[in-house]
Amino acid sequence: MNDYELNALGEQGMAALARGGHAEALRCFNAIVSAGRADGTVWVALALTRQALGDTEGLAQALDAALKLEPQNVRALLMRGDIFAAVGDRRAAVS
């Protein structure tokens, strides 16, 4: 996948996510991940897609991948904290 294709898929995925086309967004972001070209932003977008689809496990996995690449990614940290808060783990939510 060249840079043009990568950018096009990312833009297509974000547009699909914004309009509620979660299956299309998932396809786009998964293609970027499969090509080994995902950065923290793509992983967070995939996490948002998984969240919209009600896939809590996929959401957590995508956030973990984002934070592995970008440990200070604020959006990923906040989303991960929200997951812990939702299950009542206040200590983990703020750590």
Cα separation, 31 vs 29, whole angstroms: 5
Instruction: Find where tokens 């297509």 sit.
Output: 12
pLDDT tens profile 21-66: 999 999 999 999 999 999 999 999 999 999 999 999 999 999 999 9
Element (H, E) at 23: helix 22-34
Residues of the chain with pLDDT > 70, as a percent, come to 88
